[in-house]
Amino acid sequence: MERKIIDFDQGWDYMQKGITKLKRILEGAPETPFSSEEYMMLYTTIYNMCTQKPPNDFSQQLYDKYKDAFDEYINTTVLPSLREKHDEFMLRELVQRWLNHKVMVRWLSRFFHYLDRYFISRRSLAGLGAVGLTCFRDSVYMEVRVNARKAVIALIDKEREGEQIDRSLLKNVLDIFVEIGMGEMDQYEQDFEVHMLEDTADYYKSKAANWIEIDSCPDYMLKAEDCLRRERDRVSHYLHSSTEQKLVEKVQQEVLVIHANQLLEKENSGCHALLRDDKVEDLSRMYRLYHKIPKGLDPVANVFKQHITAEGAALVQQAEEASSNQTTSGSGFQEQVLVRKFLELHDKYMAYVNDCFMNHTLFHKALKEAFEIFCNKTVGGSSSAELLSTFCDNILKKGGSEKLSDEAIEDTLEKVVKLLAYISDKDLFAEFYRKKLARRLLFDRSANDDHEKCILTKLKQQCGGQFTSKMEGMVVDLTLARDNQLKFEEYLRDNSHVNPGIDLTVTVLTTGFWPSYKSFDLNLPSEMIRCLEVFKGFYETRTKHRKLTWIYSLGTCHVTGKFDTKNIELIVPTYPAAALLLFNNADRLSYSEILTQLNLGHEDVVRLLHSLSCAKYKILIKEPNNKVISQNDIFEFNHKFTDKMRRIKIPLPPADERKKVIEDVDKDRRYAIDAAIVRIMKSRKILGHQQLVLECVEQLGRMFKPDIKAIKKRIEDLITRDYLERDKDNPNTFRYLA
Amino acid sequence: MHKLGRGHRDKLQQFITITGASEKIALQALKASDWHLEGAFDFFYNQPQLKTFTDSRHLEELYNRYKDAYVDMILADGITVLCNDIQVDPQDIVMLVLSWHMKAGTMCEFSKKEFIEGLQSLGIDSLDKFREKIPYMRSELKDEQKFREIYNFAFGWAKEKGQKSLALDTAIGMWQLLFAEKQWPLVDHWCQFLQARHNKAISRDTWSQLLEFAKTVGSNLSDYDAEGAWPYLIDEFVEYLNENGIIQNGLINDSSLKW
């Protein structure tokens, strides 16, 4: 039996009944659900109408009717219901209509499914689902999107003002914006997001303009943080996740960026005040708020730097004032206090960098630059390089002014080394440090070998091996010297025919490691000459190719003074000892006689005579009896001298070695600049002046900051000495001469 | 004899006056440069000098006239006699130019070789020719390139044997002599500055660069670059001028300055 042909009108009339039933269901009218039989009949009708032979194949008509069904429903039912409602109610209606629409699409897609399988795929037409959604988009969405957006934004602003809103409603509405894009975000972004962001900007612009006037900086930041948190919360509840970054940036821009300067500079609560009052929590919040904003931290770092600089400068000022009030015998106590305060300041603000500012490089840099400013000031005539080395000396020497545990010493030394990083003149520090290290080592005034080695290790790590090589050499020399002395004593025991006459301890030093010392040709007393000869004989048994040079100025002698009342052991430097021995053969000697017999310079003779006749212990009587040594003075052994102690120490008056150190460093710098220039020119052969100066500064910057003028002077000197010449055609260019 | 227009005759006379050249040579130079004076000077100074034949016997006689009695050299006394013969003051700058021609190694001395070869290069073998040549040598100071050569020659010539630098007093004297030819407005300030602030010998580099400074940096110093490669001493000089109000806002403020 052949299947009965269904004509279009008859078939469509049947479909129409099904569609009407569906609509009634959607509208909530009393209607029984579709039974499976009804469903099958509807599906089969479409199937039959699509599979009949032309001209009874109604696929195209049915495809058109499918779309018409939606259009008709939208125009007769959906739009009127939306048009009569406003604001939140309109949103609710929209959500409901969208849900209904999706149900309708789903059911009709099933009824018309056969079209998708053959007709649509063969013709490359839009699928049934897409057609359905497009109908809603083009008819409903396009009409209501503006009002919907406004309503949504109004509700968002309402929520911002603290009112309760229906978040799920907004979620559903915004889902429409997303879904209507059918996989693309264009609709959501163009029709909603961009406008919402604009509204957000306006909202916060208005709010911030008010807050910035009435709130303190911390209160403002609390509000800012709260705003950001709530906007992020909003995203997680109903905005699309892709909006978060843009939304946050808007808030940041309006609340944090635009008012950054005004906020940070608030008179009594801004960044400066927070630092002044140690408001750690508020500063941390400031960091959290600004660190994700491009260049957002720059002003904070700048204030941080200014603040530290000001605090450091205040410390320097205090120390300067205290120093000028200090008596000359104060021995730089105030300067030592300054170093301690620098260390504390550094600890404090390094903690800020690490904790409040999360180790951000900007704040490390700000801290560094601030310390570089005030750590390079001079206080009481002392450069910071000298102050630091003196501070170390006090910690490391016996009986120093610091009383610290081993752990505290090591910790403090570590911090001092870190502070050294900020000092431009590291070479000056090295020279002062070496000078004091030498004194500690040579006069047995070092408290602890381990600490000496410890600081050298830290200095080496920070400044490089070249920086510490001489110092390490010094420490090694001392160890070798002890060993050498043991060998000398052994030598004396093994060679009984050799008799030095008096006890002798010698410390052998390597030239180049140690600071340069004057090596005068002192006329030694005969008693001393003999024991030097003995040592020399010993030394030559241990090495054939070294030369001994004696530095008497570093020596110490134990001399028994025979006075009328009792003998007293005098512990004196070698120069005064030699002078005293002259009085074994004469009761009175003139200044010039002493000068001639000792073969020393005036400066040294004045110092030693001062220590013997004008200081605490007057071993010699001076004529005239005053405090100043002059070349017309006469000196006489003081037989009547006595003291309650049996042993007394007579030091030389302290020499001002600052000038010497500075001169030495200046000289070394000249060599260093020359070497750098020659090194650069040797590799480049031809180089412009600017470039040469630049590279020179770069090469030397780790140790000291060369003055441009100093470099120019060295260049000229090298030209004069024929290492360089000016290019014949361009006097701004130099050539290396082999 | 050529018939010359008045303009050409004036130029010819001017050229002869400045260079001391003969009329024949002057005419040749002016024609080669199409009667432009500046071009004629260039032509004249760039021409290799025609090696005029010189009588070596006469040169020997000249040398022997001035040489020292004990040393085979012409020394200060001999130079004094020479200056007298050619009617030139020993302090005259033309003696520096002469020394430059002779490649004299040091001031107040001419070795035999220097003297004879120098005079040969100048085409001189008699006192008459020597006197005729004086204006020519004086005119060489007008030429920029030759002035520079003479200026830089002066450093080695004036300094003590064995020294690398030029004594300050000598340097100041030389600068005053040389810049009288060049009209550098700051020369007196420069000399005062050196005596007040420097008081040490002058290096060759400073010496040669000062001429560049005088030529290239405007007298108001507005185009001076302290970061440039100028010698340190010139940097100091510029500072000195600014500190003492001699240069203010790029203008020379010195009523005693003569133009």
Per-residue pLDDT tens for A192-223?
888 889 889 989 988 899 898 888 899 999 88
Question: Which residues on B lie below 8 Å from A733 (Cβ)?
Answer: 229
Tokens of A38: 């009804």
Q: Which of A36-50, A363-377, B58-72 has the lowest mean pLDDT?
A: A36-50
- In contact, A606 and A613? CB cutoff 8 Å: no
pLDDT at B74: 92
Do strands A588-590 and A620-623 pair parallel, antiparallel, or not at all (unpaired)? unpaired
Nearest-CA residue of chain B relative to A732? Answer: B229
pLDDT at A349: 94
Q: Is residue A523 part of a domain?
A: yes
Q: B259: pLDDT confidence band, cut at 50, 70 and 90?
A: very low
Q: Are residues B111 and B134 in the same domain?
A: yes
Each residue's pLDDT tens digit, A162-186: 888 888 888 888 888 888 887 878 8
pLDDT at B150: 94
Question: Which residues on B lie below 8 Å from A720 (Cβ)?
Answer: 164-165, 203-205
Q: Are residues B210 and B245 in the same domain?
A: yes
Distance (Å) from the alpha carbon of A494 to chain B's nearest alpha carbon: 59
pLDDT at A195: 87
Per-residue pLDDT at A48 exceeds 80: no
pLDDT at A323: 77
Q: Are residues A612 and A673 in the same domain?
A: no
Per-residue pLDDT at A728 exceeds 80: no
- In contact, A589 and A512? CB cutoff 8 Å: no
Burial (Cβ within 10 Å: 0-12, 13-18, ≥19) of residue A654: exposed
User: Cβ–Cβ of B203/A720 closer than 8 Å?
Assistant: yes
Distance (Å) from the alpha carbon of A711 to chain B's nearest alpha carbon: 9
SS (H, E, C) A412-480: HHHHHHHHHCCCCCHHHHHHHHHHHHHHHHHCCCECCHHHHHHHHHHHHHHHCHHHHHHHHHHHHHHHH
pLDDT at A209: 92
User: Cβ–Cβ of B228/A719 closer than 8 Å?
Assistant: no
Q: Which residues of B make CB contacts under 8 Å with A?
A: 164-165, 203-206, 208-209, 212, 227-229, 231-232, 235
* Backbone phi and psi for residue A119, each to the nearest 5 degrees, phi listed first: -60, -50
* Substitution target from A726, A727, A734, A735 for chain B, most B beta carbons within 10 A: A726
* Substitution target from A673, A720, A727, A735 for chain B, most B beta carbons within 10 A: A720
Report the percent of chain A where pLDDT is more than 90: 18
Q: Is residue A123 part of a domain?
A: yes
Closest by Cβ to A709, choosing from B203, B212, B232: B232
SS3 A114: helix
Q: Are residues B245 and B159 in the same domain?
A: yes
| Rounded-to-integer distance, Cα B114 and Cα B101, Å | 9
Q: Is residue A547 part of a domain?
A: no
Q: Are residues A518 and A411 in the same domain?
A: no
- In contact, B89 and B82? CB cutoff 8 Å: no
Each residue's pLDDT tens digit, B171-208: 999 998 898 876 688 888 899 899 898 888 999 889 99
Each residue's pLDDT tens digit, A438-497: 979 888 878 888 889 899 998 998 898 979 998 999 999 988 897 888 989 889 888 887
More confident residue, A578 or B145: A578
Q: Is residue B203 part of a domain?
A: yes
Q: Are residues B99 and B152 in the same domain?
A: no
Each residue's pLDDT tens digit, A610-646: 899 988 888 899 878 887 888 889 998 988 898 888 7
Question: Which residues on B lie below 8 Å from A732 (Cβ)?
Answer: 228-229
Beta-carbon contacts of A206 under 8 Å, excluding residues fewer than 6 positions away, are: none
Mean pLDDT in residue range A313-338: 74
Beta-carbon contacts of A494 under 8 Å, excluding residues fewer than 6 positions away, are: none
Tokens of A91: 């949103």
* Backbone phi and psi for residue A634, each to the nearest 5 degrees, phi listed first: -120, 145
Each residue's pLDDT tens digit, B27-42: 878 878 878 777 887 7
Per-residue pLDDT at B228 exceeds 60: yes
Question: Which residues on B lie below 8 Å from A718 (Cβ)?
Answer: none
| Rounded-to-integer distance, Cα A561 and Cα A579, Å | 13
Beta-carbon contacts of A710 under 8 Å, excluding residues fewer than 6 positions away, are: A669, A670, A673
Q: Is residue B208 part of a domain?
A: yes
Q: Is residue B252 part of a domain?
A: yes
B162 torsion bin: left (phi>0), alpha (psi -120 to 50), beta (else): left
Say how many domains are in chain B.
3
Per-residue pLDDT at B8 exceeds 60: yes
Cα dihedral A382, A388, A392, A395 in deg (nearest 10):
80
Q: A264: pLDDT confidence band, cut at 50, 70 and 90?
A: confident
Q: Is residue B25 part of a domain?
A: yes
Do strands B110-111 and A556-562 pair parallel, antiparallel, or not at all (unpaired)? unpaired
Q: Are residues B132 and B212 in the same domain?
A: no
Per-residue pLDDT at A61 exceeds 80: no
Number of helical (H) and strand (E) elements in chain A, helices listed first? 32, 9
Q: Is residue A94 part of a domain?
A: yes
Distance (Å) from the alpha carbon of A369 to chain B's nearest alpha carbon: 25
Do strands A567-573 and A647-649 pair parallel, antiparallel, or not at all (unpaired)? parallel
Q: Between the CA of residue A106 and those of A102, A116, A130, what are the distances in Å?
A: 6, 13, 11
Question: Which residues on A lie below 8 Å from B227 (Cβ)?
Answer: 690, 693, 708
| Rounded-to-integer distance, Cα A218 and Cα A234, Å | 24
Q: Are residues A388 and A242 in the same domain?
A: no
pLDDT at A591: 93
- In contact, A67 and A131? CB cutoff 8 Å: yes
| Rounded-to-integer distance, Cα A275 and Cα A278, Å | 5
| Rounded-to-integer distance, Cα B242 and Cα B124, Å | 50
Q: What CATH number has the domain bearing residue B219?
A: 1.10.238.200
**Closest C-alpha among A345, A316, A319 to residue A332:** A319
Q: Between the CA of residue A650 and those of A40, A159, A523, A565, what are the distances in Å?
A: 124, 87, 21, 19
Per-residue pLDDT at B13 exceeds 80: no
Each residue's pLDDT tens digit, A659-682: 789 888 988 898 899 999 998 998
Tokens of A139: 């008819």
SS3 A572: strand
Which of A133, A148, A182 terminates a domain? The answer is A182
Q: A421: pLDDT confidence band, cut at 50, 70 and 90?
A: very high
Q: How many CB atoms are located within 10 Å of the residue A282 CB?
A: 22
Q: Are residues A280 and A426 in the same domain?
A: no
Q: What CATH number has the domain bearing residue A371?
A: 1.20.1310.10
Mean pLDDT in residue range A274-291: 88
| Rounded-to-integer distance, Cα A610 and Cα A733, Å | 57
Residue with token string 């400031």: A286
Which DSSP string corresponds to chain B?
-----HHHHHHHHHHHHHH---HHHHHHHHHHTTT-HHHHHHHHHHSPPP-----HHHHHHHHHHHS-SSSSEE-HHHHHHHHHHTT--TTSTHHHHHHHHHT-SSTT-EEHHHHHHHHHHHT--SHHHHHHHHHHHHHGGGSHHHHHHHHHHHHHHHSPTT-SSB-HHHHHHHHHHHHHHHT-TTHHHHHHHIIIII-S-B-HHHHHHHHHHHHHS-TT-TT--TTSS--HHHHHHHHHHHHTTSEETTEE--TT---
Q: Is residue B1 part of a domain?
A: no
Which of A182, A207, A239 terminates a domain? The answer is A182
| Rounded-to-integer distance, Cα A315 and Cα A335, Å | 10
Q: What CATH number has the domain bearing residue A717?
A: 1.10.10.10
Q: Are residues B159 and B237 in the same domain?
A: yes
- In contact, A269 and A279? CB cutoff 8 Å: no
Of these ranges, A107-116, A647-656, B153-162, the one predicted with the greatest mean pLDDT is B153-162
Distance (Å) from the alpha carbon of A692 to chain B's nearest alpha carbon: 10
Which of A485, A507, A540 terminates a domain? The answer is A540
Q: Are residues A485 and A349 in the same domain?
A: no
- In contact, B135 and B19? CB cutoff 8 Å: yes
Q: Is residue A48 part of a domain?
A: yes
Tokens of B11: 């130029």
pLDDT at B33: 81
Q: Are residues A330 and A415 in the same domain?
A: yes
Question: Which residues on A lie below 8 Å from B206 (Cβ)?
Answer: 716
Q: A331: pLDDT confidence band, cut at 50, 70 and 90?
A: low
Closest by Cβ to B232, choosing from A713, A726, A733: A713
pLDDT at A684: 83
**Closest C-alpha among A450, A472, A474 to residue A463:** A472
Per-residue pLDDT at B210 exceeds 50: yes
| Rounded-to-integer distance, Cα A481 and Cα A539, Å | 12
Q: Is residue A153 part of a domain?
A: yes
Q: Are residues B79 and B94 in the same domain?
A: yes
Nearest-CA residue of chain A relative to B216? Answer: A731
C-alpha count within 13 angstroms, C-beta hemisphere, residue A373: 16
- In contact, A85 and A96? CB cutoff 8 Å: no
Q: Are residues B33 and B84 in the same domain?
A: no
Per-residue pLDDT at B219 exceeds 80: no
Q: Are residues A301 and A206 in the same domain?
A: no
Per-residue pLDDT at B51 exceeds 60: no
Q: A327: pLDDT confidence band, cut at 50, 70 and 90?
A: low
Q: Are residues B194 and B101 in the same domain?
A: no
Q: Are residues B84 and B158 in the same domain?
A: no
Closest by Cβ to B229, choosing from A709, A720, A731: A731
Radius of gyration of chain B (CA): 21
Q: Are residues B108 and B156 in the same domain?
A: no
Q: Are residues A634 and A536 in the same domain?
A: no
Q: Which domain holds residue B174?
A: 144-257
Q: Between the CA of residue B59 and those of A482, B74, B78, B128, B132, what are the distances in Å?
A: 81, 13, 15, 13, 16
Q: Which domain holds residue A140?
A: 6-182
Q: Are residues A222 and A236 in the same domain?
A: yes
> For A189-206, b where at least 16 C-beta lie within 10 A, e where not — what string?
bebbbeebbebbbebbbe
pLDDT at A738: 67
| Rounded-to-integer distance, Cα A474 and Cα A436, Å | 12
Which of B34, B50, B66 terminates a domain? The answer is B50
Q: Is residue A548 part of a domain?
A: no
Which DSSP string corresponds to A368-422?
HHHHHHHTT--BTTB-HHHHHHHHHHHHHBTT-S----HHHHHHHHHHHHHHHTT
Each residue's pLDDT tens digit, A118-159: 677 767 777 778 888 788 878 888 888 888 888 888 988 888
Beta-carbon contacts of A621 under 8 Å, excluding residues fewer than 6 positions away, are: A613, A635, A636, A637, A638
Per-residue pLDDT at A732 exceeds 80: yes
User: Cβ–Cβ of B205/A716 closer than 8 Å?
Assistant: yes
Q: B258: pLDDT confidence band, cut at 50, 70 and 90?
A: very low
Question: Which residues on B lie below 8 Å from A690 (Cβ)?
Answer: 227-229
Q: Are residues B42 and B60 in the same domain?
A: no
User: Cβ–Cβ of B229/A713 closer than 8 Å?
Assistant: no
Mean pLDDT in residue range A318-335: 69
Per-residue pLDDT at A103 exceeds 60: yes
Which of B140, B173, B205 terminates a domain? The answer is B140
Q: How many CB atoms are located within 10 Å of the residue A539 CB?
A: 18
Each residue's pLDDT tens digit, A575-594: 999 999 889 888 889 999 89
Closest by Cβ to B205, choosing from A693, A708, A726: A726
Q: Are residues A558 and A506 in the same domain?
A: no
Each residue's pLDDT tens digit, B65-119: 898 888 888 989 899 999 989 888 888 898 999 999 998 998 888 899 899 889 8
State the first-to-last Cα distance of chain A, in angstroms, to the nearest integer. Answer: 116
Per-residue pLDDT at A282 exceeds 70: yes
Q: Are residues A310 and A420 in the same domain?
A: yes
Per-residue pLDDT at B53 exceeds 70: no
Question: Which residues on B lie below 8 Å from A731 (Cβ)?
Answer: 209, 212, 229
More confident residue, A509 or B142: A509
User: Cβ–Cβ of B231/A712 closer than 8 Å?
Assistant: yes
CA A442-A445-A451 angle, to 5 degrees, is: 105
Q: Which residues of A make CB contacts under 8 Å with B?
A: 688-690, 693, 708-709, 712-713, 716, 719-720, 726, 731-734
Q: Between the CA of residue A101 and those of A15, A51, A69, what are the distances in Å?
A: 18, 29, 12
pLDDT at A3: 61
Q: Are residues A301 and A412 in the same domain?
A: yes
| Rounded-to-integer distance, Cα B5 and Cα B11, Å | 10
* Backbone phi and psi for residue A407, each to the nearest 5 degrees, phi listed first: -65, -40
Per-residue pLDDT at A329 exceeds 50: no
Of these ranges, A262-271, A629-638, A723-732, the one predicted with the greatest mean pLDDT is A629-638
| Rounded-to-integer distance, Cα A101 and Cα A82, Å | 13
Distance (Å) from the alpha carbon of B198 to chain A's nearest alpha carbon: 13
Say how many domains are in chain A.
6
User: Cβ–Cβ of A689/B212 closer than 8 Å?
Assistant: no
Closest by Cβ to A689, choosing from B203, B206, B228: B228
The letter for the amino acid at A376 is N
